[in-house]
Amino acid sequence: MKIEIKNTKKPIEYTKAISILEERIDKILNCNAKELIWILEHKSVYTAGSSYKKSEILDKSINLVNTNRGGKITYHGKGQLICYFVLNLNKRKKDIRKLISIIEKTIIETLEEYNVRSSADRKNIGIWVKKNNKRKKVAAIGIRVKKWIAYHGFSININVDLYKYNKIIPCGINSKNLINLKTVKKQNYKDMGNRLTKNFIRNLKNLVF
């Protein structure tokens, strides 16, 4: 199956990006568009998934965007790589758990290319690394499914302002358990979007019939 690859350099507003994803869903359902993988950054924003609780908002003054993705509250901003996708599971395996495993594998393999060891956690979805013998979360995953079209995506903290997370309980965990890749290993991560895309497309072959 052919997948369109987009890589947007200029930060984009969250609501605008979601609108584009939802338009793509309708087009795919009508057989008028390809599947999509989209690498981008967001302008500063707090978003709430379908399972968040108001008690997880520590600073009531923040502007919160409610979204239909799975998961809880998180923050997006400069220094965080976002990978959105719109995938037609009607033409693949209708297996959300398998898709999540593929995303986890993609992130882990990509970080290995930068000599960063990471792992998944069955209790707390996302990707974790070790720093000073402490496990810290470096990537988050949030998926929504509509008529077996899977969309939204995942994010990786490269050099995002972690102070922003102190205003919420991000993904239901303590903000002190978050980390940037630049803190784990200081190096150039500019090519990460391209490497993620390459690995994601390869691993998606395991989701076909």
Active site residues: 171
Q: Which tokens hold the place of 12?
A: 């984009």
CA distance 56 to 73: 7
Of 115, 131, 141, 108, residue with least CA distance to 177: 131
For every residue of 154-207, DSSP letters joined together read EEEESS--GGGGGGB-GGGS-GGGB--HHHHS-S--TTHHHHHHHHHHHHGGGG
* Single-letter amino acid code for the residue at 208: V
| Cα within 13 Å of Cα(103), Cβ side | 28
Q: Which tokens hold the place of 66?
A: 């409610």
Q: What is the dihedral of CA 46, 48, 54, 56, to 10 degrees?
A: -60
Angle 124-8-140 (CA atoms, 0-180°, nearest 5)?
5
